[in-house]
């Protein structure tokens, strides 16, 4: 290889050192990540191995009992879920019925109040109109005498 001119030699050395430094940093990071990955993989393998040992030690009858218990619990949960769904539907219907009854009662109360107010107004009008007590008596007597003749 040809000899590099002295003025560029310093530049080439610095550029080479910079590039090597970047690759070295990246290499260190990758090595650290690889070590972390390997340690986690080892931990996972140990956990899986211990679980396999546990299941290997468990009797087949115990496994059957566990699965039976699991199935019965699942069946109970499904029954509870169905009951909750039915109860929710029933509650919704009862709420609608309650609202309808409440509206009807409010309407009836409003009508009673309006009738009472109309009755009071009518009574006040009757009290306000002046009429003599004899006047009513005379008109009733006239009709009695008119019918007899």
DSSP 40-77: HHHHHHHHHHHHHHHHHHS-HHHHHHHHHHHHHHHHHH
Region 72-97: mean pLDDT is: 96
Region 1-21: mean pLDDT is: 76
Q: Which residue has the higher pLDDT, 103 or 52?
A: 103
Helix (H, G, I), strand (E, B) or coil at 3: coil
Are 38 and 70 members of one domain? no
**Band of pLDDT at residue 1, cut at 50, 70 and 90:** very low
Are 49 and 8 members of one domain? yes
Region 22-46: mean pLDDT is: 90
Are 95 and 106 members of one domain? yes
Are 67 and 43 members of one domain? no
Only one residue has tokens 């080892």, namely: 42
**Band of pLDDT at residue 131, cut at 50, 70 and 90:** low
**Band of pLDDT at residue 149, cut at 50, 70 and 90:** very low
**What is the number of structural domains in the chain?**
2
Range of the domain at 25: 1-57
pTM (2 decimals)?
A: 0.38
Are 82 and 116 members of one domain? yes
CA gap 120, 123 in Å, rounded: 5
Residue 148 inside a domain? The answer is no
Are 53 and 65 members of one domain? no
Q: 38 and 46 in contact (C-beta within 8 Å)?
A: no
């Amino acid at each position: 290889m040809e000899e590099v001119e002295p003025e560029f030699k310093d530049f080439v050395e610095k550029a080479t050192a910079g590039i090597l430094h970047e690759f070295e940093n990246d290499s260190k990071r990758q090595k650290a990540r690889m070590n972390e990955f390997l340690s986690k993989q080892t931990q996972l393998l140990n956990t899986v191995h211990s679980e396999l040992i546990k299941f290997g030690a468990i009797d087949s009858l115990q496994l059957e009992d566990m699965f039976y218990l699991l199935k019965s619990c699942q069946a109970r949960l499904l029954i509870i879920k169905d009951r909750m769904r039915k109860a929710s539907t029933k509650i919704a219907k009862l709420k609608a019925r309650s609202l309808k009854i409440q509206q009807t009662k409010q309407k009836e109360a409003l009508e009673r109040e309006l009738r009472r107010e109309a009755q009071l107004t009518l009574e006040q009008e009757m009290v306000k109109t002046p009429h003599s007590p004899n006047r009513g008596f005379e008109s009733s007597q006239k009709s009695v005498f008119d019918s007899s003749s």
